[in-house]
Amino acid sequence: MLLTVLVAWLSVNTGLPSTDVHPRVKFASPTEMLELRVSVSRRDVATGDTVAGDTALAESAYDLQALYDDRSRTIHLSEGWTGATPAESSVLVHELVHHLQNVAQLRYDCAEAREKLAYQAQEKWLELFRTSLAAEFEMDPMTILVRTNCLH
């Protein structure tokens, strides 16, 4: 039910097409998250795929809170995730954007460009609770700019 509501909200607020195809959601330890991140990144480099589902609000692998795997259509959340706070639920919103991008088969010049809409949706979600990416994740506009533009 929660995914259905969030997908509808995202569709209205981002223009992404709605879908009844929901992602799988799994929980993973910090070590598993690191392994998944490396695995997804390697696979995407090997295939030349530029829409890798490696997102996250992380400065290091052990800060990784979530990632989306396009191939398996799975959102991986850190094992302590409960969704009980606006910050935690915003992480799910961010990853759901990637799922909707994947299901709609949208393509981007690089993985970073794909992040722009996810961060915008996440910010909009947090604003509903009178907070922001800056307040919850210490993400200033420059950090978001770097994480959402192709720099190669």
Q: Report the domain count for the chain.
A: 1
| Residues 40-65: tens digit of each pLDDT | 776 555 444 543 444 444 444 446 88
How far apart (Å, rounded) are the C-alpha atoms in residues 38 and 121? 26
How far apart (Å, rounded) are the C-alpha atoms in residues 58 and 62? 8
Residue 34 token pair? 């690191």
Residue 108 token pair? 């981007």
Establish if 65 belongs to a structural domain.
yes
Beta bridge partners of 69: 74
Establish if 152 belongs to a structural domain.
no
Establish if 129 belongs to a structural domain.
yes
Establish if 122 belongs to a structural domain.
yes
Establish if 8 belongs to a structural domain.
yes
Establish if 85 belongs to a structural domain.
yes
Establish if 105 belongs to a structural domain.
yes
Q: How many CB atoms lie within 10 A of CB 105?
A: 7
Q: What is the pTM of this model?
A: 0.86
pLDDT confidence of residue 63: 66
The residue segments making up the domain with residue 124 are 2-147
| Residues 138-149: tens digit of each pLDDT | 999 999 999 999
| 123, pLDDT greater than 90 | yes
